[in-house]
Amino acid sequence: MNDKVQAALNTQINMELGAFYTYLSMAAYFEADGLKGFSAWMRHHAEEEMMHAMKLYDFIHARRGRVTLKALGDPKTVWENPVAAFEDALKHEQKVTAAINALVDLAREERDHATHSFLQWFVDEQVEEEEIVDDAIQKLRRIGDFGPGLYLLDREMAASAASSEGQAESEAGEG
C-alpha cells in the first residue's frame, strides 16, 4: 500500500491504543474512588478504543501492508474530580477527530480510494464519541458537588455500560 498512508495509519493505531490506555486509567481511577458505574463506562470505552485500533490493524493487513507498533506513554492516573476526567476525555476525542480528518485528507491527496472509504466509519464514529463524552460533562457540571446526584449518575453510567456491552456481544454473535 501507499507508504505515506501506511505510516499515517500506523500512527493512528498508536493513537487509538493511547486512547485505550487513557480510558483504562480513568476506569482504574473511578474504581479506586468507589464510582463503579463510571469505572464500568470507562472500561467499556477503553474496549471500544482497542476495537478501533484493531480495525486499523486488520485493514492494513487486508491491504497487504505492514503494521508497526510503537511505544505508548504513561497515561495520567489521577484527576481532580470526575468532571476533570471527562473533560480530558473530550480533549482526547477532539485530537482523535482532528487526526482522522487529517488521514482522510491524506487518503484523498494520495488518491487512495479504499482507505478513504474505510475511514468514513471513523469519521461517523467520532461524532458519536464526542457527543457521549460531552453529554456526561454536561450532566456532571449540573450535579456539581451534590452527592446524591453523583450517586444516581454513577448508576446511570453502570446501566449504560451494561447495555453497550450487551449490544456489542449480540453484534459479535451475529458476525
Q: How far is the CB of 126 from ligand FEO (least distance, A)?
A: 6
| Beta carbons within 10 angstroms of residue 65's beta carbon | 18
CA dihedral (154, 53, 128, 159) positive or negative: negative
Q: How far is the CB of 136 from ligand FEO (least distance, A)?
A: 13
Q: How far is the CB of 49 from ligand FEO (least distance, A)?
A: 5
Residue from 6, 39, 49, 116 that binds ligand FEO (CB under 6 A)? Answer: 49
Q: Are 93 and 53 in contact (CB under 8 A)?
A: no
User: Does 47 interact with ligand FEO (rule: CB under 6 A)?
Assistant: no
Q: Under rule CB under 6 A, which residues in 123-142 are in contact with ligand FEO? A: 129
Which residue number is nearest to ligand FEO in terms of Cβ? Answer: 52
User: Does 19 interact with ligand FEO (rule: CB under 6 A)?
Assistant: yes
Q: How far is the CB of 93 from ligand FEO (least distance, A)?
A: 5
Q: Measured between alpha carbons, how far is 136 from 26 in angstroms, rounded to an integer?
A: 14
Q: Are 94 and 127 in contact (CB under 8 A)?
A: no
Q: Measured between alpha carbons, how far is 96 from 100 in angstroms, rounded to an integer?
A: 6
Q: Are 25 and 16 in contact (CB under 8 A)?
A: no
User: Does 116 interact with ligand FEO (rule: CB under 6 A)?
Assistant: no
Cβ contacts of 19 within 8 Å, gap of 6 or more: 46, 49, 52, 92, 93, 96
Q: Under rule CB under 6 A, which residues in 77-106 are in contact with ligand FEO? A: 93, 96
User: Does 44 interact with ligand FEO (rule: CB under 6 A)?
Assistant: no
User: Does 150 interact with ligand FEO (rule: CB under 6 A)?
Assistant: no
- The candidate with the shortest Cα–Cα distance to 140, out of 69, 87, 97, 66, is 87
User: Does 154 interact with ligand FEO (rule: CB under 6 A)?
Assistant: no
Q: How far is the CB of 151 from ligand FEO (least distance, A)?
A: 27
What is the binding site for ligand FEO (CB under 6 A)?
Answer: 16, 19, 49, 52, 93, 96, 129
